[in-house]
Structure 1
Amino acid sequence: MEKAKAVSSYFGSMTFDQKVMRKKLPKEVFLALQKTIEAGNSLSEEIAGAVAHGMKEWAMENGATHYTHWFQPMTGATAEKHDAFLTMDKDGSPIERFSGGQLIQGEPDASSFPSGGMRTTFEARGYTAWDPTSPAFLMKGGKGLTLCIPTVFISYHGEALDEKTPLLRSMDAVSRSAIKLLNILGVEGVSRVNTYAGAEQEYFLVDKKFYSMRPDLVMSGRTLLGAMPPKGQQLEDHYFGSIPNRVLEFMQEVEEELYLLGIPAKTRHNEVAPHQFEIAPIFERANIAADHNLLVMEIMRRVAEKKGFALLMHEKPFAGINGSGKHNNWSIGTAEGINLLEPGDTPESNIQFLVFLVAVLKGVYKRGDVLRASIASIGNDHRLGANEAPPAVVTVFLGELLEKVLDAIESGKVDFATEKQVLNLGLAHLPILNKDYTDRNRTSPFAFTGNKFEFRAVGSSQPIAIPNMALNTLMAEAISELAGEIQAKIDAGADRDAAILEVLREEIKATRAVRYQGDNYSDDLQMAASDRGLPNLKNTPQAMRVLTVQSTRDMFNDFCVLSPEELDARLNTRLERYVKGIDIEVRTLQLMLKTFVIPNVSEYQGEIADSFNALVDASERIGVGSKALKSQGDHLKGLAESLSELIDLTAELDAVIARLEELGEGFDAADYCADVVLPTMERVRSVADRLEFMVDRSKWALPTYSEMLFEH
């Protein structure tokens, strides 16, 4: 076997990173670019031209012939338009050229991307603008390489048409608010505060041959029909189990591609459901983490195709077993390297930590509905509240020790002291283990996990730019309000430490309702949410209405993240995608019923009827008794009645589709989808799945759950 190369020897070799820039750029150009990346300084056209030349030379040395501005429109995916470096010189000679202007700005057709009503179809002009904080990279494809330049995407009048621009704005908003608060706390000299993210990505792999035979998987990403096999995940033997060789080869190739792009994939393992897996990265700045997560999904799709798999990113591709999430680990820290959510050995005396911890509680308590809206989607509506996912209620888990710390501060017991906790296993040859301050609560949608928060409710198919933008914005607001409260008490004559402690005590008491340490899957949580006045937004239309609330609109506008027009665009786009997505699902179900299930069952019913009639004719000759005839007649009757019920429900489904066509794409259509279309689809499914167990497998044309989930 060929010895594997050390990852460090080729990590980032397809990325225009600092090491390459030092080599390819003049010193003054390199330093100017670093100031742009670290401090947000503007770049002159002359500097941009030098960067473009160095970037082109590096890309061509590696075999690239084209470049593209790589951006994130409001489609949930990425977009790119490739242009060749090749151009014609004045004398007609071919030459490779890439200017500073081409690096900084591109012009894709904006009319074909979602604008949510900000642009009409004939207003086609839009711009991509280089984001120098995210490194350019070379992407393999076809027989060559393409230089991909991360960019933002804006309209002719400057409105954000993408997911990245609001994310970058929200990071700036957090930084401004946090620096102000740190100054009040006596921490000076902080140049910038960054938010960091790491997205644990869950996914399913199924054999491509089964995938291509399932119109529902191809069209909607989830199974609209399918009965549970006798074995699902009830033995929990797949979780952290031995990874099948074919899957391991897929994972290894994915990781190699990611390492070449400088994406720090760290962990791989089997997840709970059969044929479900996870990949997790090392933390990065939130905007780079968002770029990298989209690349992870893209590369996994390509490698899966190559390996004969279909990659399923839908949040609930199989009914009855765990769906897939994207646990978004989030933290906040200074550019100088201080994690503001690091409790240290004595969290009760770490005022800086406590203030930012309380800011999180304040933000989530006040804007839990905004967080819920940020992760609302068709797929996540199926997943949230099921046995493997957090509920639609957003609560915060802190753990026993931090709960005691906050309770002590609230009650005025400032002499409370914690002790370092250890686990002694009582075996001489095993070491004593350090015990974390908090246990893990995998039922919590927003849990503190040592020095960061894990936002577990994010959907597996979703770009993390959206929830991180929402989280950053509500944090910017909460931090700003805390700073104002503390400063007001200082201005009124209070000692700074006393002012901080008094504000902490007030906010700990005010936000107690959002802290929940129990089982979020239980009915107790639902009752607690009602008692505490926490929003419980069950579906996407309910969740998205928060974007019409004036205080929500003011928050995004006041912190310069989304203008009212940009917020409306996202509301309209999300509703449109919800309605169109369910429209695709229900029409696919209609197709499957009429061209697969009903014909399959009818054919089998005919064979059973022929067999039964033959038995009746021969019963007297061979001595078959009435009891045997009744049993077989009852079987045929049950089959016929279930088929008739399915045919009637299919007609009802036809009427539901016709009504949906009349409603357009706004809240009326979205509510109808949630309240009528999806429940009708579930009733259809229950009958079809019952029939699957009654029909000869050789007559059932659709691959079953048993095949898709247990055949590697």
Structure 2
Amino acid sequence: MKNLPENFGSLVFNDAVMRDRLPKETYNALKRTMEQGKHLDPSIAHIVANAMKDWAVEKGVTHFTHWFQPMTGTTAEKHDSFISPVAGGGVIMEFSGKELIKGEPDASSFPSGGLRATFEARGYTAWDPTSYAFIKDDTLCIPTAFCSYSGEALDKKTPLLRSMEALNRQALRILRLFGDKETVHVDTTVGPEQEYFLVDKKLYEERKDLLFCGRTLFGAKPPKGQELDDHYFGTIKTRVQAFMKDLDEELWKLGVYAKTEHNEVAPAQHELAPIFTTTNIAADHNQLTMEMMKKVAERHGLTCLLHEKPFAGVNGSGKHNNWSISTNTGVNLLDPGDSPRENAQFLLFLTAVVKAVDEYQDLLRASVATAGNDHRLGANEAPPAIVSMFVGDELMEVLESIMRETAYESKDKVEMKVGVHTLPRFIKDTTDRNRTSPFAFTGNKFEFRMPGSSQSISGINIVLNTIAAETLCQFADVLEESKDFTSDLHNLVKDTLTSHRRILFNGNNYSPEWVLEAEKRGLLNLKTTADALPYFVHEKNVELFVKHKVFTAGEMHARYEIMLEGYCKTLNIEALTMLEMVKKDILPAVSNYCRDLTATALQKRQLLPECSCEVEEALVKRLSKLSACLYQKNDKLEKALLDCKAYTDLQELANYYRDVVLLSMQETRTVADELETIVGSSYWPYPTYCDLLFHV
């Protein structure tokens, strides 16, 4: 891309395009909606629609779609052309305000969690004017919300927008108490770091487990993994570099702020990180990023794996959700400034987040609960399932001084010296980073490190926005009645921090000692999705979302059902795939190898009766024993799946998958992986970890 600034956002109906193509009054009205959350005037829709259509047609576009995000976690679209018939058998290109504002897709086949019956097909998509329209695959894509005929949210965008409005309302109440009359809108901003694997497409297509499940259900550990730490930040391979270059250009044209890219810890693993933007747009951009990663990989003969744990024995992939709160005037409300001890406004917002994370740790854990993420959380590459907060040594000292009401002596800035005179000196950060923490303060934002790589970031940020809105609401209720604002503010911060100190932990979250300490503190350790999801619909959590008009009680219970069903279906697909791989591929491969070993031994004895056949005999004996064991384990797994039919309650079924099916799958895998280490490589039916991780 020769002229990046000129080409950036070239496929986006962005602010510059709108300013150029819309009448001034229309442009200003639309901007008020986008920046201040003002109600959209429907009368401007036709003007905007016509300008969108003209702009898109000039770029060769013939179709438009309402681009939405159903509760599948992916995106959906139905394409319509701009053509409209005219007399004489011709057509003209038209796009009306009505078509811009409202679409009517079939909603019957999308997850609804019981909000509607299958035969009730009508659903609506509604234009989201806060997110720019864009061109993808020669189609004008209009970001939209998605709801049922009776008005329930059937998507991830609608509640995300509601949660942003909830936080805006409460944050403005707090800012007014500090005398801020300039801020008219407060938004959360997000920068989601996206981890992924790249494998050769031909090898990928030879693995049924990767095709059906997105992860390997079998695979012996290769001689070399990530032990030498030589892949992390290492030289990017030529083929991967070409992919990254192509990906950047595609994302830049779509206005996605793709910034940082590098090799991650595991072989064949990589990361892309964008610049922060408003949460709603960040969610749209991340969905586009995942889609483009897959498409661009195909062009390069690669497949992009977004599963949280595609390979056992090496690091899995997460999606670190960097979250902050900013005003329309450009002020980051989580920036401590040079003197955090004296920055009362920052301390109040920080304290609100501390309280929110402690009181709603169950919701945060549930927001990242998936079958895929269960394999990743708690391993030594991701935070544990216990939610805690890291604030760094300096900030912890500030908070301790407030709780103890002692003086705090700010630390002088330290110049970093590395002992080489020719190297430049620079100012050292006031605190180190803690990569083991699930929820870490990193200077002027929080990094929520628990989300899985394949997840939509909408659900995570719905929770973050809403729990922060609730604690800010509680603070505003107290301080708006205050007679001595300074004194009451100090006491509120001090008392809240003291009450919620248990959530603060700056140590090693991987250590066994922390698990015991967390239990003493009363922190939850929800190890699996089946453990975590019931907390989503606990009474206090339903009351929270209903109070702030983010979800109705029905919408919450629907999402609980959808997440439970997704967990069960995922594990069922994996188990069925495992059964097929063992029956049709692995056992026949072992049998063929045994046959040839036996034939070799017989031929040796026929030729030379005194010739030793010890190797062949030992291998056949061992293989026969293991293949019999694998057959038994597979049979046990098949029976376990049949017993699933006895469960009608989804939570009980999820518990059964967790306790019985997953255990049986692991037992089956253990035997199959041992067989892989013995069977001749030319006989083994699938590309191995050596092939997949080191042949890109």
* Equivalent in the alignment of 2:466: 473
SS in 1 for 2:360: helix
SS in 2 for 1:42: coil
Q: Of the candidates 499, 502, 509, which is equivalent to residue 488 of structure 2? A: 499
SS in 2 for 1:64: coil
* Equivalent in the alignment of 1:436: 429
**How far 1:632 sits from its partner (Å)?**
4.6
Q: Residues of 2 paired with 1:415 and 1:122: CA distance? A: 65
* Equivalent in the alignment of 2:585: 596
SS in 1 for 2:375: helix
**How far 1:306 sits from its partner (Å)?**
1.3
* Equivalent in the alignment of 2:16: 19
**How far 1:388 sits from its partner (Å)?**
0.3
Q: Residues of 1 paired with 2:523 and 2:73: CA distance? A: 29
* Equivalent in the alignment of 1:673: 657
SS in 2 for 1:200: strand
Q: Residues of 2 paired with 1:303 and 1:173: CA distance? A: 37
**How far 1:508 sits from its partner (Å)?**
1.2
* Equivalent in the alignment of 2:647: 663
* Equivalent in the alignment of 2:202: 209
Moved over 6 A (4+): none
Q: Residues of 1 paired with 2:569 and 2:529: CA distance? A: 13
**How far 1:129 sits from its partner (Å)?**
0.3
Q: Of the candidates 79, 82, 92, which is equivalent to residue 82 of structure 1? A: 79
Q: Is the contact made by 2:37 and 2:185 (CA closer than 8 Å) also made in structure 1? A: no
Q: Residues of 2 paired with 1:484 and 1:658: CA distance? A: 55
**How far 1:42 sits from its partner (Å)?**
2.7
SS in 1 for 2:143: strand
**How far 1:197 sits from its partner (Å)?**
0.2
Question: Are 1:637 and 2:621 an aligned pair?
Answer: yes
Question: Are 1:709 and 2:668 an aligned pair?
Answer: no
* Equivalent in the alignment of 1:103: 100
* Equivalent in the alignment of 1:156: 149
Q: Per the alignment, do residues 607 and 340 of structure 1 end up closer, same or farther by CA in structure 2, a change over 3 Å counting? A: same
**How far 1:498 sits from its partner (Å)?**
1.0
**How far 1:89 sits from its partner (Å)?**
2.7
**How far 1:293 sits from its partner (Å)?**
0.2
The worse-fitting range, judged by mean Cα deviation, of 411-420 and 568-577 is: 411-420
**How far 1:98 sits from its partner (Å)?**
0.3
**How far 1:29 sits from its partner (Å)?**
0.9
Question: Are 1:307 and 2:296 an aligned pair?
Answer: no
Q: Residues of 2 paired with 1:185 and 1:133: CA distance? A: 28
Question: Are 1:538 and 2:527 an aligned pair?
Answer: yes
Q: Is the contact made by 2:597 and 2:616 (CA closer than 8 Å) also made in structure 1? A: no
- Per-residue CA distance 1:157-180 (angstroms, 9 max, x = gap): 111000000000000111111111
Q: Residues of 2 paired with 1:612 and 1:393: CA distance? A: 56
Q: Is the contact made by 2:72 and 2:110 (CA closer than 8 Å) also made in structure 1? A: yes
- Per-residue CA distance 1:663-683 (angstroms, 9 max, x = gap): 257111111111111111000
* Equivalent in the alignment of 1:558: 547
Q: Aligned residues, how many?
A: 696
Q: Of the candidates 131, 136, 139, which is equivalent to residue 134 of structure 1? A: 131
The worse-fitting range, judged by mean Cα deviation, of 282-291 and 503-512 is: 503-512
The worse-fitting range, judged by mean Cα deviation, of 516-525 and 220-229 is: 516-525
* Equivalent in the alignment of 1:611: 600
Question: Are 1:227 and 2:200 an aligned pair?
Answer: no
Q: Residues of 1 paired with 2:681 and 2:5: CA distance? A: 51
Q: Is the contact made by 1:348 and 1:416 (CA closer than 8 Å) also made in structure 2? A: no
Q: Residues of 2 paired with 1:476 and 1:422: CA distance? A: 39
Q: Using the aligned pairs only, state the percent identity.
A: 49
Q: Is the contact made by 1:301 and 1:311 (CA closer than 8 Å) also made in structure 2? A: yes
Q: Residues of 2 paired with 1:225 and 1:631: CA distance? A: 26
Q: Per the alignment, do residues 481 and 641 of structure 1 end up closer, same or farther by CA in structure 2, a change over 3 Å counting? A: same
Write the mapping of 1:307-706 to structure 2, written as runs, cut at 5 A: 307-488=300-481, 490=482, 493=483, 495-615=484-604, 621-622=609-610, 624=611, 632-664=616-648, 666-706=650-690
Relative to the length of structure 2, the TM-score reads 0.98
- Per-residue CA distance 1:217-248 (angstroms, 9 max, x = gap): 00000000010101000001000001011111
* Equivalent in the alignment of 1:262: 255
* Equivalent in the alignment of 1:47: 44
**How far 1:419 sits from its partner (Å)?**
2.7
- Per-residue CA distance 1:321-377 (angstroms, 9 max, x = gap): 000000000000111111001011111111111111111110000001100000100
- Per-residue CA distance 1:194-235 (angstroms, 9 max, x = gap): 000011000000001110000000000000001010100000
Q: Residues of 2 paired with 1:409 and 1:459: CA distance? A: 36
**How far 1:414 sits from its partner (Å)?**
4.0
Q: Residues of 2 paired with 1:135 and 1:419: CA distance? A: 45
Q: Residues of 1 paired with 2:414 and 2:338: CA distance? A: 10
SS in 2 for 1:677: helix
**How far 1:5 sits from its partner (Å)?**
1.0
**How far 1:507 sits from its partner (Å)?**
1.1
Q: Is the contact made by 2:398 and 2:408 (CA closer than 8 Å) also made in structure 1? A: no
Residue identity opposite 1:360 in structure 2? V
Q: Residues of 1 paired with 2:427 and 2:500: CA distance? A: 30
- Per-residue CA distance 1:249-300 (angstroms, 9 max, x = gap): 1110110011101111000100000000000000000000000000001111
